[in-house]
């Protein structure tokens, strides 16, 4: 399927649907949700059920998960949590209530603000006046300008990698594929419109897009297993909420099995060291080449080459560790070797996230919340809800879109991002140059991420998933889509989250202390500060001292990552003996008296010594990297030979 660059198949709409695609069981859940929402609405109109009253009763007024009581995962609650030695693929039995399991509803900080209090998207602001058009907000409030940050592109790439481990909101599809909400060539739809459509009507003065309509389909809604629970519409997370490497291993048993090699301990590869082929996927392939679309634990693997490169590196990391463990643990079964390797890989995801990436994003707030894990052990707190917060996935974690650069440095080239969407070729041809450039080395010129602010580059505001050789205006606008997704999910306005995070209220658009130097421009689009979309408000906030994010964004991110640490029974430095890295074994050195904990300490110390730079060095032929690949090379962050970095990295002798 390489002819003519697959233009007939690879369109911006198709690419976006891949990015938010659903798994087969969700079609049934979506139908149930629609029926339930309609029934709830009828009951409310008839005066039998006051959902607003129920929401008010549920809301705690503090930053905690406010989840409606769905029967988690549409199956029985877990009764053998303590007997699970390794994580299940779908997250089942990590938590007694199955919170965080794939294909289950997410949680919320605040109850939804649907127009009808049930499930109709949020389109009305204060005094029931229509909210401004998402594309208008994107164009006037989020200008397409470039202002590089003093951080490498890896700060963005790890954020996306992490997001694809914990969040995936699938959209509704029909039996014959993606729902089309606009008319031909982006015109306004004529006649009946699918009830799951929430298309963005473009302003009449739009110059960057053809037509007057941008495609948008609503996220799948969830109900309980009987399809009759009286609740507002809630969205489904198709992934496990835990930081467990699910983008590597999958979040369903079916996909996990598909990714494993016949040897039992390895993940499947193609050409020995690259990702396997997904014959059912469609991506942009060069005619006359051996290009192919990648298969991984997350369907978004082909979005752009830097993401595909991360998938490739971690695939190699798994197989390398598994092979060494096989020689060191000859008595173990293949399944034990595979699961121990998966456990180590999952631990490294957490080490890099909590000890390298989060401290840069949150600054001192990471320490205050005990989010770093450089010493000691973590005790799971029974009252902590590990589910993904709707506000985190729909707004807060999308702050990383501001980091996205105009170009990706690859060797001596600086390649426009718009020419790389859905093209795996650069991973196959130039993996080392690609990952080195993202890490800030190897390519002449300034190759940094963009600053975290209200600005977004044109590659994603006018040319997202734009097909090759397409007529002008055939891409999408990621910022408009972000805003529309928040409204689809009924996310309350920004000011509501300032309140729940304990911050002072905003009363007008002159509040530059809260909304930054461009606060007044918000007033040219929004009628009231109480109408500001959460995503827009978060990226307008001036950063806190020593952090990259402002106070409300820090509050939401901090809450989520706290929950993901203290609500995860399998967190890498857990104090639970059955699943800790001692594995119940004694060591060659004395294990009694003062020596008793030495092996446990050695394993944790070895895991904590790992940085992303060391993982990259171990799985590429790159010769040198700074130890901190999130920051540019400098006197305090010099290039270090990979041979030296690896001397101080993961030591599998402690895992015999």
Rounded Cα distance, 561 and 366, in Å: 9
Residue keyed to tokens 């080459």: 305
- The string over 621-649, giving b where at least 16 C-beta atoms fall within 10 Å of a residue's C-beta and e elsewhere, is ebebbbbbbbbbbeeeeeebebeebeeeb
Contact, 278 vs 257, CB < 8 A? no
Count of other CB atoms within 10 angstroms of residue 578: 13
In the beta sheet, which residues pair with residue 171? 219
**Nearest-angstrom CA–CA distance, 532 and 310:** 35
Query: For residue 13, which of 392, 481, 373 has the smallest C-alpha distance?
Result: 481
What's the CA gap between 600 and 584, in Å, rounded? 10
* Strand pairing category for 448-450 and 639-641: unpaired
DSSP H helices, 396-477, are 425-438, 458-461
| 540 marked as part of a ligand binding site | no
Token pair of 617 as six digits: 């060095």
Residue 259 contacts residue 295 (beta carbons within 8 Å):
yes
Q: Residues 6 or more apart from 281 whose CB is under 8 A from it?
A: 18, 293, 294, 295, 299, 302
Pair 105, 74: CB distance under 8 Å: no
- In the chain, the largest separation of any two C-alpha atoms, in whole Å, equals 79
Q: Is 406 in contact with 416 (CB distance < 8 Å)? A: yes
**Cβ-contact 276, 294 below 8 angstroms:** yes
Q: Do the beta carbons of residue 151 and residue 631 sit within 8 Å?
A: yes
* Residue 145: C-alpha distances to residues 465, 538, 583 (Å): 19, 18, 52
**Three-class DSSP category at 253:** helix
Which residues are annotated as catalytic? 164
Q: Which two tokens stand for residue 453?
A: 């602010």
Cα–Cα dist 656/650, whole Å? 13
The residues, ordered by sequence, that sit 6+ positions from 262 with a Cβ below 8 Å of its Cβ are none
Helix or strand (DSSP H, E) at 32: helix 26-45
Compute the distance between CA of residue 201 and CA of residue 573 in angstroms, rounded to an integer. 49
Report d(CA 521, CA 519) in Å as an integer.
Answer: 5
Q: Quote the CA–CA distance of 391 and 330 in Å, as a whole number.
A: 47
Report the candidate in 645, 644, 646, 626 with the shortest Cα–Cα distance to residue 634: 626
* Nearest in space to 573 (alpha carbons), one of 346, 362, 391: 346
Annotated binding site for heme b: 401
Annotated binding site: 401
């Amino acid at each position: 399927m390489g002819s003519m660059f697959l233009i007939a198949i690879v369109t911006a709409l198709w690419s976006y649907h891949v990015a938010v695609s659903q798994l087969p069981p969700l079609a049934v859940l979506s139908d149930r949700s629609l029926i339930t929402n309609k029934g709830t609405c009828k009951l409310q109109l008839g005066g039998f059920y006051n959902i607003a009253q129920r929401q008010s009763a549920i809301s705690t007024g503090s930053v905690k998960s406010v989840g409606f009581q769905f029967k988690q995962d549409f199956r029985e609650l877990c009764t053998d949590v303590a007997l699970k030695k390794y994580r299940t693929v779908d997250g089942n039995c990590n938590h007694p209530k199955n919170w965080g399991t794939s294909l289950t509803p997410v949680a919320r900080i605040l109850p939804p603000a649907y127009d009808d209090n049930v499930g109709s998207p949020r389109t009305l602001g204060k005094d029931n006046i229509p909210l401004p058009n998402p594309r208008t907000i994107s164009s006037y409030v989020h200008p397409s300008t470039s202002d590089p940050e003093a951080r490498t592109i890896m700060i963005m790439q790890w954020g996306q990698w992490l997001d694809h481990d914990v969040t995936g909101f699938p959209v509704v599809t029909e039996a014959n594929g993606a729902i089309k909400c606009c008319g031909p060539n982006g015109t306004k739809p004529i006649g009946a419109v699918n009830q799951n459509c929430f298309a963005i009507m473009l302003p009449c003065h739009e110059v960057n897009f053809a037509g007057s309509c941008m495609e948008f389909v609503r996220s799948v809604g969830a109900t309980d297993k009987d399809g009759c629970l009286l609740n507002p519409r809630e969205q489904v997370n198709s992934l496990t909420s835990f930081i467990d490497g699910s983008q590597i291993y999958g979040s369903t048993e079916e996909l996990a099995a598909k990714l494993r090699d016949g040897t039992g301990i390895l993940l499947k590869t193609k050409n020995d060291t690259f990702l396997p082929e997904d014959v059912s996927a469609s991506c942009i392939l060069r005619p006359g080449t051996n290009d192919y679309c990648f298969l991984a634990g997350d369907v978004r693997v082909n979005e752009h080459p830097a993401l595909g490169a991360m998938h490739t590196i971690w695939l190699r990391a798994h197989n390398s560790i598994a092979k060494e463990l096989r020689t060191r643990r000859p008595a173990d079964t293949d399944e034990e070797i595979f699961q121990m390797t998966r456990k180590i890989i999952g631990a490294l995801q957490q080490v890099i996230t909590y000890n390298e990436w989060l401290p840069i994003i949150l600054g001192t707030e990471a320490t205050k919340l005990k989010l770093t894990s450089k010493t000691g052990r973590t005790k799971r707190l029974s009252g902590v809800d590990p589910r993904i917060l709707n506000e985190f996935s729909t707004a807060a974690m999308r702050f990383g879109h501001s980091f996205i650069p105009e170009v990706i440095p690859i060797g001596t080239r600086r390649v426009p991002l718009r020419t790389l969407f859905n093209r795996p070729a650069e991973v196959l041809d130039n993996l080392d140059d690609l990952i080195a450039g993202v890490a800030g080395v190897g390519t002449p010129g300034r190759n940094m991420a963009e600053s975290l602010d209200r600005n977004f580059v044109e590659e994603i505001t006018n040319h997202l998933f734009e097909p090759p050789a397409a007529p002008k205006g055939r891409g999408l606008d990621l910022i408009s889509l972000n805003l529309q997704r928040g409204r689809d999910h009924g996310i309350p306005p920004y000011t509501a989250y300032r309140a729940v995070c304990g911050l002072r209220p905003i009363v007008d658009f002159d509040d530059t202390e809260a909304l930054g130097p461009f606060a007044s421009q918000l007033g040219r689009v929004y009628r009231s500060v109480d109408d500001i979309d959460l995503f827009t408000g978060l990226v307008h906030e001036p950063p806190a001292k020593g952090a990259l994010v402002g106070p409300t964004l820090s509050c939401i991110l901090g809450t989520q990552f706290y929950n993901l640490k203290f609500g995860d029974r399998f967190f890498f430095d857990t104090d639970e003996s059955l699943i800790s890295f001692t594995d119940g074994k004694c060591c060659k050195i004395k294990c009694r008296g003062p020596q008793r904990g030495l092996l446990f300490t050695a394993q944790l110390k070895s895991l904590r010594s790992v940085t992303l730079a060391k993982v990259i060095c171990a799985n590429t032929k790159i010769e040198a990297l700074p130890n901190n690949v999130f920051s540019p090379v400098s006197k305090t962050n010099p290039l270090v030979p990979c041979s030296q970095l690896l001397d101080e990295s993961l030591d599998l002798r402690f895992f015999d």
